[in-house]
Amino acid sequence: MNRPLPAASVAALVAADPARALPMLRQAILRDENDAPAYRLLGRALRALGRETEAVLAEDEAIRASVHDPELVAIARALIAGDLPMAEAGLRQRLREQPTDVAAIRMMAELAGRIGRYRDAEALLRRALELAPGFLAARANLAIVLYKQNRFADAVGELDAVLAAGGADAGNLNLRAAALGRTGDYEEARRIYADLTATFPAHARLWMSYGHILKTLGEQAQSVAAYRRALEIEPGLGEVWWSLANLKTWRFEDDDVAVMEAALSGKSLPEDDRLHLHFALGKALEDRGEAAPSFDHYAKGNRLRRDQLDYEPASASAQVDSVIATFTPEFVAARADAGHPSPEPIFILGLPRAGSTLIEQILSSHSQIEGTMELPDIPAMAMREAQAAGGHARDWPEALAAMPRDRLTDLGAEFLERTRIQRKSGKPFYIDKLPNNWAYLGFIAMILPNARIIDARRHPLDCCFSNFRQHFAKGQPFSYDLEHVGRYYADYVRAMSHYDRVQPGHVHRVIHERLLDHPETEVRWLLDYLGLPFEESCLEFHRNPRAVRTASSEQVRRPINRDGVGQWRPYEDWLEPLKAALGDLPATYAKV
């Protein structure tokens, strides 16, 4: 009479008559307070009866009980040790036996995230939350996975739910501030970091993140103070030294150089700190006019970063070949009236460090144009469509060619919807200044045929060497080798020349050096292309208080100057690989 029913029978009873199942499940829990399957079934029964609060408590207890499960403990140890094959085998076996074990589902999601399969991780976490809506750790993990997919607004939404349910720990608040910084809600991000640094005053990386937001808001003195506080706590934190160097207008003192050199001499310094310190010292010595040791540090930092990445320059060349083969005059003419008709987006593209931030600052000083940031949406959408068609992420031209016309319209509408959160002012036009969008220009042209395209182009030696001197937070894997960056620039010019041939006049090119020499003339031509009247405020762009996230944030808060012109010249003796990759482009870049 008191013999427990088999688990399958209890599960069937929960589905058929949850009220009758409740006493059986409570008896099972009295026999074993760590019976996680019984707690899970109890939660399901209570939820079916509309007793939500009790259901959440039961589900929480199921998760707590899982901590005592020897199988899950062994799997967790394998995950911590990095033995992913063993962890995966254990989790698959576990989920075959207990498919509703939310703790195991969450661990499987963690495993998927470890190997970059974020969509799989998201699906698993959503399944865990379907089974246990109150599983706050899974919801927080979902926010991380969404953030890593560049879905920042969605991440904020999940974090808001976590915080509302009492999950206001420092990690969740830090992630929320980072996500808000990506949606343009800088003041709220600033408030969170101010609170976090007050609560955790000895946390160097929180001070660093606080410094990043203050820099974005144009508060340089406060930003430097935050960075300095981080370095007081952790003097060898290379990313903070590079953050100071990345202010561009900052100059290091002798004592700073000595501290950085001492940190570099440490045998146990992590590689990421080491490469950041090399980049920072390269900048410090460049400012002193010491080209040889400066280049040595730049070269060492780049070598460390290049060895961490798996970049093959031929991949960019192959994608340009594919674009040229696909986007023929006939292909473009056949889709002349396809895509979404909105004229609202303005794309500024080209290479990083080519002057795109200056153009954005000029245009966002106009009464009808809103500046946003470097938006990740176009590459994400193009790569998604390629993979959905069964190809590699770079095969988007083939996927685009096979699309029905209404799909092009839908994708244009999707871009407008995805970027709506970035629009704060209600102005009729807005900018996406992701430089890498040059590689997806054909995608943009087909889904948003009325969007305006601005090609920001800078002298190739200045532009490419500026990339080599820049450590990017993420992306731009071509920039850590002189030959690679030269080949990338050449591929970019080759692609843009092709678009000029098949869609003449569609792209407006701004040559950086001409803009510096004749700002009013170039700005008037640019606004004519956009169909907008000239406004004097565009020449007073440095007075614009808007937030700027890029490495040029401090430079565009000054009037136009030629400080960046010819910065490659002191390093000319070491630039032969770059020159060879560029060929005749230093002489022809403004003409092609």
pLDDT value of position 90: 93
Q: Do residues 464 and 489 make contact, with C-beta atoms less than 8 angstroms apart? A: yes
| 571 inside domain | yes
pLDDT value of position 81: 80
- Please give the tally of structural domains in the chain: 2
| 413 inside domain | yes
Percentage helix, strand, coil for the chain under 3-state DSSP, each rounded to 5: 65, 5, 30
| 27 inside domain | yes
**Residue 563: strand, helix, or coil:** coil
* CATH classification at residue 54: 1.25.40.10
What is 475-486 written as a DSSP string? Answer: --GGGGSHHHHH
Q: Do residues 508 and 454 make contact, with C-beta atoms less than 8 angstroms apart? A: yes
Q: Which of 539, 439, 542, 412 is nearest to 499 (CA)?
A: 439
Q: pTM (2 decimals)?
A: 0.82
| 319 inside domain | no
pLDDT value of position 8: 64
| 118 inside domain | no
| 428 inside domain | yes
Q: Which of 585, 571, 566 is nearest to 299 (CA)?
A: 571
Enter the DSSP assignment of 4: P
Domain boundary among 23, 45, 66: 66
| Structure tokens belonging to residue 586 | 């230093």
pLDDT value of position 1: 37
Strand pairing category for 369-373 and 345-350: unpaired
Domain boundary among 26, 43, 66: 66
CA angle 20, 25, 29 (to 5 degrees): 155
| 487 inside domain | no
Alpha-carbon gap, residue 379 to 386, rounded angstroms: 11
Measured from the Cβ of residue 577, the count of other Cβ atoms closer than 10 Å reads: 15
Measured from the Cβ of residue 262, the count of other Cβ atoms closer than 10 Å reads: 11
**Parent domain of 54:** 7-66
pLDDT value of position 575: 98
**Residue 512: strand, helix, or coil:** helix
Domain boundary among 66, 85, 103: 66
Q: Which of 274, 206, 287 is nearest to 241 (CA)?
A: 274
| 440 inside domain | yes
Residue type, 201: P
Q: Which of 452, 288, 308, 323 is nearest to 398 (CA)?
A: 323
| Structure tokens belonging to residue 533 | 């009247």
Beta bridge partners of 538: none
Give CA 425 to chain center in angstroms: 23
Beta bridge partners of 455: 349, 509
Q: Quickly tell me which residue has 């146990």 as its tokens.
A: 268
Alpha-carbon gap, residue 420 to 46, rounded angstroms: 40
Low-confidence residues of the chain, pLDDT below 50? Answer: 1-2
Q: Which of 283, 303, 302 is nearest to 293 (CA)?
A: 283
* CATH classification at residue 373: 3.40.50.300
